[in-house]
Amino acid sequence: MTEVSTRGARSAVDLRGKYASLTTYRRDGSPVATPVWFVIDGDRVLVQTDAHAGKVKRIRRNPVVTMATCTATGRLRGSAVPGRAEVLPPAARERAEQLMAAKYRADVRVVSAFWAIQKALGVGRKRTTPVIIAITLDH
């Protein structure tokens, strides 16, 4: 598999977009698409998620994924591009969080406040340590 240049990543996942649909695969091969925030870092697309999210478990088992630009609700706005994903070590988290904060300034504040309220009320799913998923898209 060849790595995607930044130009290739930009054409595959529009940098002006806020959301990308990340599709991972269950053991039986059925796809699970999830809209995610993303940033481009060199030749890779980075996504931050919860360490116990289903997509993390699926990627650890099967690194084959697809990505496409989409709306917040997951409606595709572009063609799906195949790639391979990996869960990065904790040391990579700081850089990814900086890139996310720069791209999603106001959104991060709103979502963080919402999660804090959920935690205080004891509702919603429990969040654990965030992890970074790096996706290398195929040409």
pLDDT of 52-66, one tens digit each?
999 999 999 999 999
The residue ranges of every structural domain in the chain are 6-137
Is residue 110 predicted with pLDDT exceeding 70? no
Given a cut of 70, whether residue 118 has pLDDT beyond it is: no
Q: Using 50, 70 and 90 to split pLDDT, how confident is the model at 1?
A: very low
Q: What is the mean pLDDT of residues 23-32?
A: 98
Q: Does domain 6-137 have CATH number 2.30.110.10?
A: yes
Q: Which residues of 44-62 are buried (b: 16+ CB within 10 A; e: fewer)?
A: bbbbbbeeebebbebbeee
Backbone φ and ψ of 49, nearest 5°: -150, 175
The more confidently predicted of residues 10 and 43 is 43
